[in-house]
């Protein structure tokens, strides 16, 4: 059911376009990037100096011990005064190493903090904010088409992976180029031939690491899918435990879980086999370098062409760093792939058309009277299945419209067209005579109060939930709304009254309580139009009675759309619409519809008291009611 519009934008972005956009993003943060680069250069320089000082120390010792051995090369050709005892020379070198290491440690710390501030505090916050902002304004269609997990992941994981383009690709690439260049120049300056020989294995190393990464990446991805699948079985078993136990299906679910778990294990074993082959192989390749270094470098030292410390030992250190950077190339390529894929998903949201948007010349409607007209409206979620077909009706301000119909007949859809959650494909809907498409969406929605079938509450305080539509509402307003919705009393009895935090969106409240909060939330805005999508579906008759009673006063003076089942509600409606497969089958007042034989009459009669019941109710009581039972008597 994935619909085309959301994915089309992303597919049309070529890799080049994507990279260009990412580069533009990087450019936004250029000053931070430059600072980080400067620190990195400092690190490189001080690191190399430290390494060469260690080499110098060894050579100095050798030359002191054995005057015949080659003279050490002092930095800037400044040997210590000949009068110094060897210990003094050594101390200077050791202190130099320590000093450099200290500077390096400080730079390194600065570097990682600065980098983190740049990435997390600037890039990621920037990306998350714009993606979230865009998300909030996308039409419901987007949310229907994409699983909530995937949407959440775009703001969390994908944003981080997009960020990777800046640090993992651009910065890492520059750092790598720079350091490989410097290492190479240093090594060549020590001995060009040795450098070439030692680096002969580099292409092999690079090849191996990329093969390894390319093989494992999809495998790890698959592993995550398999693990998710296994956890899904567990979570469904727990969530559906009543079904599992009720039908005695434990053995089957155990088998399914065992299969899923075994699948994870077996796939992981393949990964294990790969890793345990490749990683020692790659380590061995870098060790071949050392074999070459020992053999040929040793030969050079013997021939006196290379100093032992500043030459061989330093070379060994350089070689190690160099191999490390080469192995990073594979990471760089991965980061590039990963960041492109993630950026595609992020841009996908940023580019998604906001289907429902106020036009620039939208009419501002601060005070809506509440006249609603449907003119031959057609609507479909998917191109070829019409959910609403040719719906026309006319509601005057303050009128009450009840909508009835079978499951999937389009009742909720019809209701969601009024606040413009979707636009009809054909026909139009007018409010106070204006086509909805010409009206400012925020004005429109602020004048429409909505109570959903499954009311969603946020994990926040009761007061914040009621004031959701009007964040600055006073306690007075909140309480008034709650009172009308018959919620005030139970709210006061909660742990902290109006400041009680709702657990997991009110999971600790009863269905009726949640629904009453939702009604209070809708009433706070004092809307001209009230929409109620079967709000009493999940409450018992007593609670339902209370809600309906309270809704009476709330509905007064407002245009109300109510999806309802109950005859009492239907009877008071000015207009009853009977929907079937998206068409209006019957329309009229309750009395008019009851007068004709049809689906409406059949439905209402089911709830009506039959003759026998009426007789039983009107006859004198057979058993004298006890005092407790009599209280509620009419």
Q: How far is the CB of 1 from other proteins (least distance, A)?
A: 7
Nearest to residue 117, comparing CAs of 32, 179, 49, 31?
32
Closer to other proteins by Cβ: residue 115 or 374:
115
Nearer to other proteins, 18 or 52 (CB): 52
Ranges of H-type helices in 525-580: 541-555, 567-572
Sign of the dihedral defined by the CA atoms of residues 483, 487, 490, 494, in that order:
negative
Alpha-carbon gap, residue 474 to 191, rounded angstroms: 79
CB of 121: closest distance to other proteins in angstroms? Answer: 4
Q: Following DSSP, what letter does each residue of 383-426 receive, concatenated?
A: TTEEEEEEEEEEE-TT-EEEEEE-TTSSHHHHHHHTTTSS--SE
Complex with other proteins: residue 104 or 340, whichever CB lies closer: 104
- In the chain, what is the straight-line distance between the N-terminal and C-terminal CA atoms, in Å? 53
Q: How many Cα neighbours within 13 Å face the side chain of 468? A: 20
SS3 at position 508: coil
- Residue owning tokens 């890492």: 172
CB of 17 to other proteins, least distance (A): 26
CB of 452 to other proteins, least distance (A): 6
Characterize the bridge pairing of strands 372-382 and 385-395. Answer: antiparallel
Query: Do the beta carbons of residue 358 and residue 442 sit within 8 Å?
Result: yes
CB of 166 to other proteins, least distance (A): 15
CB nearer to other proteins: give 18 or 561.
561
Distance of closest approach, residue 629 Cβ to other proteins, in angstroms: 4
3-state helix vs strand vs coil in the chain, percent to 5: 65, 10, 25
Name 331's bridge partners: none
Of 528, 513, 525, the C-alpha closest to 467 is 525
Q: How far is the CB of 32 from other proteins (least distance, A)?
A: 13
Cβ count within 10 A of residue 327: 20
333 vs 567, beta carbon nearer other proteins: 567
Compute the least distance from the CB of residue 568 to other proteins, in Å: 4
Please say whether the beta carbons of 131 and 155 come within 8 A.
yes
Pairing of strands 426-431, 400-405: unpaired
Cα dihedral 487, 491, 493, 494 sign: positive
Dist CA 462 CA 468 (whole Å)? 10
Closer to other proteins by CB, 331 or 460: give it: 460
Q: How far is the CB of 445 from other proteins (least distance, A)?
A: 4
Q: Could you tell me the smallest distance in angstroms from the CB atom of residue 25 to other proteins?
A: 16
Dihedrals phi, psi of 616, to nearest 5 degrees: -60, -35
- Could you give the CA distance from residue 513 to residue 508 in angstroms, rounded to a whole number? 10
**CA dihedral sign of residues 426, 429, 433, 438:** negative
Which CB, 203 or 503, lies closer to other proteins? 503
Q: How far is the CB of 563 from other proteins (least distance, A)?
A: 8
Q: 96 vs 54, 63, 64, CA distance in Å?
A: 9, 19, 19
> Min. distance of Cβ 4 from other proteins in angstroms?
16
Q: How far is the CB of 199 from other proteins (least distance, A)?
A: 17
When the beta carbons of 340 and 563 are compared against other proteins, the nearer one is 563
Which is nearer to other proteins, 335 or 500 (by Cβ)? 500
Residue 20 or 272: which CB sits closer to other proteins? 272
Q: Two tokens at 378?
A: 């057609």
Give 37 or 101: the residue with its C-beta nearer to other proteins.
Answer: 101
Task: Write out the two tokens for 32.
Answer: 């931070």
Task: Give the Cα separation of 533 and 578 in Å (integer).
Answer: 15
Q: Which is nearer to other proteins, 340 or 465 (CB)?
A: 465
* E strand map for 556-601: 559-563, 575-580, 583-588
Structure tokens, 417: 């067209």
CA 352 to chain centre: 16
Q: Is the CB of 23 or the CB of 614 nearer to other proteins?
A: 614
Beta carbon of residue 414, minimum distance to other proteins (angstroms, whole number): 14
Cα torsion 536, 542, 548, 551: sign: negative
Is 394 or 610 the residue whose CB approaches other proteins more closely?
610
């Amino acid at each position: 059911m994935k619909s085309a519009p959301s994915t089309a934008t992303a597919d049309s972005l070529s890799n080049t376009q994507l990279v260009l956009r990412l580069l533009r993003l990087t450019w936004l943060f250029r000053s931070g990037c430059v600072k980080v680069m400067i620190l990195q250069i400092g690190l490189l320089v001080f690191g190399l100096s430290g390494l060469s000082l260690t080499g110098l120390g060894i050579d100095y010792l050798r030359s002191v011990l054995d005057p015949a051995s080659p003279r050490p090369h002092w930095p800037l050709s400044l040997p210590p005064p000949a009068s110094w005892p060897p210990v003094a020379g050594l101390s200077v070198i050791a202190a130099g190493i320590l000093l450099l290491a200290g500077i390096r440690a400080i730079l390194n710390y600065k570097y990682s903090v600065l980098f983190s501030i740049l990435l997390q505090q600037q890039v990621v916050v920037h990306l998350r904010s714009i993606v979230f902002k865009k998300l909030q304004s996308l039409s419901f269609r987007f949310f229907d088409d994409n699983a909530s997990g995937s949407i959440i992941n775009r703001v969390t994981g994908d944003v981080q992976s997009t960020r990777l383009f800046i640090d993992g690709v651009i910065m890492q690439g520059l750092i790598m180029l720079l350091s490989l260049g410097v290492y190479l120049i240093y090594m060549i300056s020590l001995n060009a031939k040795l450098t070439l020989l030692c680096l002969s294995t580099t292409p092999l190393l690079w090849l191996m690491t990329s093969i390894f990464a390319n093989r494992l990446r999809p495998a790890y991805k698959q592993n995550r899918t398999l693990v998710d699948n296994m956890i899904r079985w567990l979570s469904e078993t727990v969530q559906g435990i009543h079904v599992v136990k009720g039908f005695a299906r434990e053995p089957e679910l155990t088998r399914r879980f065992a299969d899923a778990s075994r699948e994870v294990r077996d796939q992981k074993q393949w990964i294990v086999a790969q890793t345990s082959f490749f990683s020692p192989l790659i380590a061995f390749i870098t060790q071949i370098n050392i074999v070459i270094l020992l053999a040929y470098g040793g030969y050079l030292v013997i021939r006196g062409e290379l100093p032992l410390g500043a030459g061989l030992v330093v070379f060994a250190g350089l070689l190690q760093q160099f191999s490390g950077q080469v192995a990073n190339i594979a990471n760089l390529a991965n980061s590039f792939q990963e960041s492109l894929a993630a950026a595609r998903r992020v841009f996908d949201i940023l580019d998604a058309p906001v289907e429902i948007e106020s036009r620039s010349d939208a009419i501002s409607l601060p005070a809506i009277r509440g006249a609603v007209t449907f003119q031959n409206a057609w609507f479909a979620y998917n191109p070829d299945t019409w959910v609403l077909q040719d719906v026309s009706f006319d509601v005057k301000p303050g009128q009450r419209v009840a909508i009835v119909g079978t499951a999937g007949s389009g009742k909720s859809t019809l209701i969601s067209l009024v606040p413009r959650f979707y636009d009809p494909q054909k026909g139009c809907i007018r409010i106070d005579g204006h086509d909805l498409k010409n009206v400012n969406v925020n004005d429109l929605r602020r004048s429409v109060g909505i109570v959903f079938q499954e009311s969603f509450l946020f994990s926040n305080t009761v007061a914040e939930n009621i004031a959701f539509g009007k964040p600055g509402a006073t306690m007075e307003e909140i309480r008034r709304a709650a009172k009308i919705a018959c919620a005030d009393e139970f709210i006061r009895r909660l742990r902290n009254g109006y400041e009680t935090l709702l657990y997991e969106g009110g999971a600790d409240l009863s269905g009726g309580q949640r629904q009453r909060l939702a009604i209070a939330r809708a009433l706070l805005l004092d809307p001209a139009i009230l929409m109620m999508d079967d709000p009493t579906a999940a409450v018992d008759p007593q609670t339902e009675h209370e809600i309906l009673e309270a809704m009476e006063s709330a509905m007064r003076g407002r245009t109300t759309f109510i999806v309802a089942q109950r005859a009492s509600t239907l009877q008071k409606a000015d207009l009853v619409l009977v929907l079937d497969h998206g068409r209006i089958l019957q329309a009229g007042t309750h009395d008019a519809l009851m007068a004709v034989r049809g689906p409406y009459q059949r439905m209402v009669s089911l709830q009506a008291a039959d003759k026998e019941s009426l007789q039983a109710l009107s006859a004198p009581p057979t058993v004298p009611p006890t005092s407790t039972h009599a209280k509620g008597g009419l």
